[in-house]
Structure 1
Amino acid sequence: MEGTKPKCELTVAQFAKLFDHTNLKAYATDEDFQKLCREAADYGFRMVAINSCQTKLCKEYLKGTDVHVGAAISFPLGQTTLPVKLAETVDAIENGADEIDYVLHVGKLKMGDTDYIREEMRAIVDVCRKHGVISKVIFENCYLTKEEIKTAALIAKEVRPDFIKTSTGFGTGGATVEDVQLMKETVGDLVKVKAAGGVRDLETCLAMVEAGAERIGSSSSVALTEAYQAYINK
């Protein structure tokens, strides 16, 4: 990046707290998760984002730190029934999850079944609230029209999850500044926005924050934080 300082005038520590440090790969090993958790603790990231079966493991690795463990639910397709999503959510919470990122039923949204989307969101958010756990709803915007994104965001505005999230990172596309802006404009201050999927360079990251993202999901959190530190120290 060249020119003036970024509009995002955060300290390095504040910048690091934007990140949900991510490893959702099917072939990741315990050693990989140990490394993920060590990096999250060393850099002061907000959360590690992992598949739900690694929740207990990462909770143990992060014992004594303030880094949250975030479990991905019905990941990456969202194509499980509500009882299954609820069971996975409860299991993750029982294993120590501090945050839940669930994938909504994209097909139901595209069919215009807003009652289903509302029921699913309310049920999962209610479980999270009951246990004092942060809830995030993954839209998977690459498969949605702008109107469908707005429809899901309006339901979120009513149900009040803690965050709505752009993408899994496993679809045909990731976060865009335009989508972050649309989501934030729709929910206002009632729900926060998380940008995820393809956020790998500092310019893109700062643009997402400027557009209204208050969390960034990325597997490049270390490189981004180091790039930010180098940039503001120029």
Structure 2
Amino acid sequence: MSPTASMTPEQVDQLDATELAALIDHTLLGPTASAQDIDTLCEQAQSYGTASVCIQPIWVERAATRLASSPVKVCTVIGFPSGAQTPETKAYETSQAIQHGADEVDMVIDQAAALANDKATLVRDIGAVVEAAAGHDVVVKVILETAALTDQAKIIACEAAVEAGAHYVKTSTGFGPGGATVADVALLRSTVGDGVGVKASGGIRTRQDAIDMLKAGATRLGASATYAIVS
């Protein structure tokens, strides 16, 4: 199955703990996280078998070193958490993160452009990151911050992400006015189709939360409560 194509409800129900863990970006984005916290996160991710660790850019090199012999990927965030940086700044952040060992980047969009229905600006915004990641086999996920947007703005942002060549759209930063909802995941999935992945993040704390998001069309989950989800 394509990593971007959603599963049927029956397939989701059949996921065991190992298979569920492999869909999670084990996340620690708090600005006061310490080096020891990052080391612990990497150890946990390897133990659980998660898709990645998702961390702030300052920790990418450390995590990449810790995970060098592991299948767990290193994911970091770009333009985080507001998205109110220039495309050039986001492109530079992306290039630097890749140099330090990032395998995946989750970039925050220009939310004002989405609310203004300005797709051209969004395509430039997202495209700058996609272009910076091109040729490096780096996955680009596009954070919409759905709780701050109208449904029309979410659709415009999804369309821009597809047009710009992003690999995933993502619901939330975890630092905005709300997290993932089943309705938003379903809207994102119906807009992007099966050629682009959907990452649900923000407020996913239990196995049932995870199952609900996957049944709505998510193909990746962002969570800090990974242990509670997979145990």
User: Which TM-score bucket, shorter chain as reference?
Assistant: over 0.9
State whether residues 114 and 154 of structure 2, in contact with CA within 8 Å, keep that contact through their aligned partners in structure 1: no
* CA distance 1:118–1:97, change in 2 (3 Å): same
What are the ranges of 5 or more consecutive residues in structure 1 without an aligned counterpart? Answer: 227-234
1:43 to 41, 45, 48: 48
Cα offset, 1:47, TM superposition: 0.3
Bigger shift: residues 7-16 or 52-61: 7-16
Report the residue type matching 2:118 in the other structure. Answer: D
State whether residues 6 and 206 of structure 1, in contact with CA within 8 Å, keep that contact through their aligned partners in structure 2: no
Q: Return the alpha-carbon distance in structure 2 between the equivalents of residues 11 and 160 of structure 1.
A: 32
What residue number does 1:123 align with?
A: 128
Q: Return the alpha-carbon distance in structure 1 between the equivalents of residues 66 and 167 of structure 2.
A: 25
Q: 2:162 matched to 1:164? A: no
Report the residue type matching 1:15 in the other structure. Answer: L
State whether residues 74 and 103 of structure 2, in contact with CA within 8 Å, keep that contact through their aligned partners in structure 1: yes
1:138 to 143, 148, 159: 143
Q: Return the alpha-carbon distance in structure 2 between the equivalents of residues 109 and 7 of structure 1.
A: 32
Report the residue type matching 2:102 in the other structure. Answer: A
* 1:76-225 matches, cutoff 5 A: 76-225=81-230
Q: Return the alpha-carbon distance in structure 2 between the equivalents of residues 197 and 57 of structure 1.
A: 25
Q: Return the alpha-carbon distance in structure 1 between the equivalents of residues 13 and 159 of structure 2.
A: 27
TM-score normalised by structure 1 residue count: 0.92
Q: After superposition, what is the alpha-carbon deviation per residue over 1:77-133, rounded to whole angstroms, capped at 9, x for unaligned?
A: 111111111111000000000000000111121122221101111221122222110
Q: Return the alpha-carbon distance in structure 1 between the equivalents of residues 11 and 195 of structure 2.
A: 26
State whether residues 160 and 190 of structure 1, in contact with CA within 8 Å, keep that contact through their aligned partners in structure 2: no
Cα offset, 1:6, TM superposition: 8.9
Cα offset, 1:190, TM superposition: 1.4
Larger Rg: 1
What residue number does 1:230 align with?
A: none
Q: Return the alpha-carbon distance in structure 1 between the equivalents of residues 104 and 76 of structure 2.
A: 6
Q: Return the alpha-carbon distance in structure 2 between the equivalents of residues 180 and 221 of structure 1.
A: 19
Q: Return the alpha-carbon distance in structure 2 between the equivalents of residues 7 and 40 of structure 1.
A: 21
State whether residues 153 and 183 of structure 1, in contact with CA within 8 Å, keep that contact through their aligned partners in structure 2: yes
Q: Return the alpha-carbon distance in structure 2 between the equivalents of residues 92 and 73 of structure 1.
A: 9
Cα offset, 1:52, TM superposition: 0.8
TM-score normalised by structure 2 residue count: 0.93
What residue number does 2:36 align with?
A: 31
* CA distance 1:160–1:50, change in 2 (3 Å): same
Q: After superposition, what is the alpha-carbon deviation per residue over 1:28-80, rounded to whole angstroms, capped at 9, x for unaligned?
A: 00000000000000110000000111100111111210000001011111111
Cα offset, 1:12, TM superposition: 2.2
Q: Matched residue of 1:153: which SS?
A: helix
Q: Return the alpha-carbon distance in structure 1 between the equivalents of residues 103 and 79 of structure 2.
A: 17
Q: Give the paired residue count.
A: 222
Q: Return the alpha-carbon distance in structure 2 between the equivalents of residues 155 and 112 of structure 1.
A: 10
Q: Matched residue of 1:75: which SS?
A: coil
Q: Matched residue of 2:204: which SS?
A: coil
State whether residues 90 and 128 of structure 2, in contact with CA within 8 Å, keep that contact through their aligned partners in structure 1: no
2:71 to 55, 59, 66: 66
Q: Matched residue of 1:213: which SS?
A: coil
Report the residue type matching 1:88 in the other structure. Answer: E
Identity %: 37
Q: Return the alpha-carbon distance in structure 2 between the equivalents of residues 32 and 201 of structure 1.
A: 22
Q: Return the alpha-carbon distance in structure 1 between the equivalents of residues 191 and 115 of structure 2.
A: 18
